[in-house]
């Protein structure tokens, strides 16, 4: 059942082992910028139904790999599956982003969260992981993922997306013990969830801390990084005779890279506001780096994509430990033909740099 | 006409001269969290009419000073006065933020921008400055301000607020010379505008670069900081026999403080994602620092405000060169009574620290 991995550049780069060329994937690579994704999504009915249907989730996961020579696939799912499984009632309002029918705003709310088991309560995710892993047949590694406890908590407390996070920050400053109780529950759940994905076939995992960057340094440490560190230390890091690398990504976390590098992950994701050469100097050889092209560039032109991707590759240089990616998810208005330009440029230019 | 300044703590701190206690003001201190502001605004009709009426603008500027022992007043105005004066047609849609009827998206659009003279085209702002300055009667210094060229350009190109800045980033990457032409025009206009405010009575000025933090480091340097530096070097820095300090504030600019400190300003504004003690170490004695309490704290409680303000004051310590402020504007849902707690705490605690 476990086909030999034909392309392990991505896993090697995350472990800072030498590779012939820099591996590349794109956050949200299975997404609305692709017409075939929009067709499958229309067939599924809505976004959540697509996530819950293993065959269709597998189909959209593989779509970008048919077009581009990507070095990794990433599970098609949502970051809010855990709070949904905890009974909060996830739904999507057109143009409004995710919403929850119930919110968590008190100690009693936290205590009322039912017990969570990833294999029982999110079996549809594990089905998707094993279905995709089988379909990949060793072509490239499969990445599993979860939202970070802080990021999940923002949606659970606010009841959806937020501009200023006033409700969760109110809770954080006024009743920190309530928020810590919630984050403890989430850290345990995320650990269980990622371990279940690894058991089901995920060969690397990424923790998305989309909203850690809205915190002060002290609050980031206490309410986000601490819980990610706890998760990392509880993950199954060896599976199928191979190390399972872990990537931490805090959007707008560029000021805290040194601290993030101490949290035990194999790699850090960078958004585009950080210079990757400076980041490499700051974290030294403790972690690999993933990133960090501004996704806005995927709406421009071939020559701009080539130029800007080359700038990043040259800034990183030939040291081991670089996975090329965007600094955040590819947007719905990105031009699909530029994704091909990006992937091909990364391979060509990095082969030249790495063999020079 | 120019009354003696009775409280110059704010100006001294910006020049890193010793003060008995840390001066404090709050970005957007004349704003919707104050019921008396909402009443005056209702009387004016709408936000722009309030900005354009010197008597009413003066009235709202002074309102927070009646409630709190603030060490500075800031001109009540909008950051988008310059593009409005350039004929773009600023208006506000309820819940939507600022909008422009016309946008700037090509070289021809830039060339069609009419000549701009601050004293002629924004005489209502200069009237407000001199009216407020007279009304202050030397009580505290008056701060003038402008948006940064990059920040103004984002609204002019996008036509309003933006989530991802895709249009201006498209222009920046594909036609940088067009954007540079626009930024040149804006840098000249902002220099003229701030100098006119200084002539009219502003005793310090702040450049608000609200959106510089959405850029990559290289683009921040080329498209935002360069133009702010140009403005700073063109400002009248002595007036009425006193130095006129300049503050640069880039929201989410915490990664670039060293570079910002080289741009020639007297002080840098910090948002709450940067540790102020670490910032002080990074910039040394080149500039004063202003900040940096998370505005979300102004919606919590007395004890939280006291605790968190004290943390910042103690982190900065007794060195000269600290102006206390929020890390961004005070929000409409802030509790007015907590602003008093904040101002009084800053004065009490800093007096203890500075005299220890």
Residue B108 pLDDT > 60, yes or no? yes
Residue A203 pLDDT > 70, yes or no? yes
Task: Report yes or no: B173 at the A interface, CB cutoff 8 Å.
Answer: yes
pLDDT at res. A1 = 54
Residue B154 pLDDT > 60, yes or no? yes
| Catalytic residue flag (residue B78) | yes
Q: Compute the distance between CA of residue A189 and CA of residue B13 in angstroms, rounded to an integer.
A: 49
Tokens 């927070």, residue? B64
Q: How confident is the model at residue B94 (pLDDT cuts 50, 70, 90)?
A: confident
Q: How confident is the model at residue A272 (pLDDT cuts 50, 70, 90)?
A: very high
Edge to edge, what strands does the sheet with A204-209 contain? A73-74, A142-147, A204-209, A246-250, A267-269, A288-290, A322-323
Q: Compute the distance between CA of residue A37 and CA of residue A64 in angstroms, rounded to an integer.
A: 9
At residue A99, what are phi and psi to the nearest 5 degrees?
Answer: -135, 150
Task: Report yes or no: A297 at the B interface, CB cutoff 8 Å.
Answer: yes
Q: Closest partner residue to A296 among B165, B217, B304, by Cβ? A: B165
Q: DSSP secondary-structure letter at B79?
A: T
Q: How confident is the model at residue A2 (pLDDT cuts 50, 70, 90)?
A: confident
Which domains does chain B show, CATH number per domain? 9-354 (3.20.20.210)
Residues of B in contact with A169 (CB under 8 A): 294, 296-297, 299
Q: Closest partner residue to A170 among B272, B274, B300, by Cβ? A: B300
Mean pLDDT (whole number) for A172-197: 98
Mind listing the pLDDT tens digit for each residue in B198-231? 999 999 999 999 999 999 999 999 999 999 999 9
Helical residues (DSSP H) of chain A, grouped into ranges: 9-14, 35-44, 47-52, 54-67, 81-83, 107-111, 118-121, 123-136, 149-158, 166-174, 176-200, 217-219, 226-233, 257-261, 276-283, 302-316, 336-354
Mind listing the pLDDT tens digit for each residue in A58-67? 999 999 999 9
Nearest-10 crossing angle of helices B54-67, B123-136: 40
Tokens 């005489």, residue? B123
With CB atoms and an 8 Å threshold, state whether A301 touches B174: yes
Residue B21 pLDDT > 60, yes or no? yes
Question: What tokens appear for A44 in the block?
Answer: 């599924």
Q: Closest partner residue to B173 among A166, A170, A297, by Cβ? A: A297
Residue A131 pLDDT > 90, yes or no? yes
The pTM is what? 0.96
Report the mean per-residue pLDDT for chain B. Answer: 97
- Nearest-CA distance B130 → chain A (Å): 35
| Catalytic residue flag (residue B37) | no
Mean pLDDT (whole number) for A248-265: 98
Mean pLDDT (whole number) for B109-138: 98
Mind listing the pLDDT tens digit for each residue in B36-66? 999 999 999 989 999 999 999 999 999 999 9
Provide the percentage of residues in chain B whose pLDDT is more than 70: 100
Is there a contact between B200 and B131 (Cβ–Cβ < 8 Å)? no
Residue A103 pLDDT > 80, yes or no? yes
Provide the percentage of residues in chain A whose pLDDT is more than 70: 100
Interface A–B counts its CB contacts (< 8 A) at 85
Q: Compute the distance between CA of residue B327 and CA of residue B207 in angstroms, rounded to an integer.
A: 14
Q: Tell me the β-bridge partners of A157.
A: none
Nearest residue of A to residue B275, measured between CA atoms: A217
Q: How confident is the model at residue B143 (pLDDT cuts 50, 70, 90)?
A: very high
Among residues B291, B292, B339, B319, which one has the least CA distance to residue B19? B319
Provide the percentage of residues in chain B whose pLDDT is more than 90: 96
Is the complex ipTM more than 0.90?
yes
Mind listing the pLDDT tens digit for each residue in B223-278? 999 999 999 999 999 999 999 999 999 999 999 999 999 999 999 999 999 999 99
- Residue B263, SS3? coil
Q: How confident is the model at residue A95 (pLDDT cuts 50, 70, 90)?
A: confident
- Nearest-CA distance A333 → chain B (Å): 9
Which residues lie below 8 Å from residue A108, measured CB to CB, with a gap of 6+?
Answer: none
With CB atoms and an 8 Å threshold, state whether A296 touches B169: yes
- CB atoms under 10 Å from CB of A93, counted, come to 9
pLDDT at res. A356 = 86
- Nearest-CA distance B259 → chain A (Å): 13
Secondary structure E strands in B165-302: 204-209, 238-239, 242-243, 246-250, 267-269, 288-290
Mind listing the pLDDT tens digit for each residue in A48-57? 999 999 999 9
Nearest-10 crossing angle of helices B176-200, B226-234: 30
Burial degree of B137 (CB within 10 A; 0-12, 13-18, 19+): exposed
Provide the percentage of residues in chain A whose pLDDT is more than 90: 96
Residue A139 pLDDT > 80, yes or no? yes
Residue A122 pLDDT > 70, yes or no? yes
Which residues lie below 8 Å from residue A208, measured CB to CB, with a gap of 6+?
Answer: A79, A145, A146, A147, A148, A151, A249
Nearest-10 crossing angle of helices A276-283, A302-316: 20
| Catalytic residue flag (residue A41) | yes
Q: DSSP secondary-structure letter at A255?
A: G
Residue B1 pLDDT > 60, yes or no? no
Which residues lie below 8 Å from residue A123, measured CB to CB, with a gap of 6+?
Answer: none
């Amino acid at each position: 059942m476990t086909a030999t991995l034909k392309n392990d550049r991505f896993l090697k780069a995350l472990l800072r082992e030498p590779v012939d060329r820099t591996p590349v994937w794109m956050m949200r690579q299975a997404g609305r910028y692709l017409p075939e994704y929009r067709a499958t999504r229309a067939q599924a009915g809505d976004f959540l139904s697509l996530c819950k249907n293993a065959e269709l989730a597998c189909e959209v996961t593989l779509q970008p790999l048919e077009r581009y020579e990507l070095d990794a696939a990433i599970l098609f799912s949502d970051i809010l599956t855990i709070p949904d499984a905890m009974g909060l009632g996830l739904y999507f309002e057109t143009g409004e982003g995710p919403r929850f029918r119930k919110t968590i705003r008190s100690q009693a709310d936290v205590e009322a969260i039912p017990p969570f088991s990833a294999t029982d309560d999110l079996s549809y995710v594990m089905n998707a992981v094993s279905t995709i892993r089988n379909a990949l047949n060793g072509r490239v590694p499969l990445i599993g993922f979860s939202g970070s406890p802080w990021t999940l908590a923002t949606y659970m407390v606010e009841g959806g997306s937020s501009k200023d996070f006033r409700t969760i920050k109110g809770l954080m400053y006024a009743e920190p013990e309530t928020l810590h109780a919630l984050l403890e529950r989430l850290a345990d759940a995320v650990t269980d969830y990622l371990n279940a994905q690894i058991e089901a076939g995920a060969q690397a995992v990424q923790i998305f801390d989309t909203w850690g960057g809205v915190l002060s340094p002290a609050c980031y440490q206490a309410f986000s990084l601490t819980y990610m560190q706890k998760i990392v230390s509880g993950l199954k890091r060896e599976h199928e005779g191979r190390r399972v690398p872990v990537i931490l990504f805090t959007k707008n976390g560029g000021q805290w890279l040194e601290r993030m590098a101490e949290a035990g992950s194999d790699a850090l994701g960078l958004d585009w506001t950080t210079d990757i050469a400076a980041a490499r100097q700051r974290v030294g050889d403790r972690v690999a780096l993933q990133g960090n092209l501004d996704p806005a560039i995927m709406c421009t032109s071939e020559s701009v994509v080539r130029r800007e991707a080359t700038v990043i590759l040259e800034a990183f240089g030939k040291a081991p430990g670089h996975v090329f990616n965007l600094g955040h998810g590819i947007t719905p208005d990105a031009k699909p033909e530029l994704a091909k330009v990006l992937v091909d440029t990364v391979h060509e230019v990095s082969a030249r740099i790495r063999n020079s």
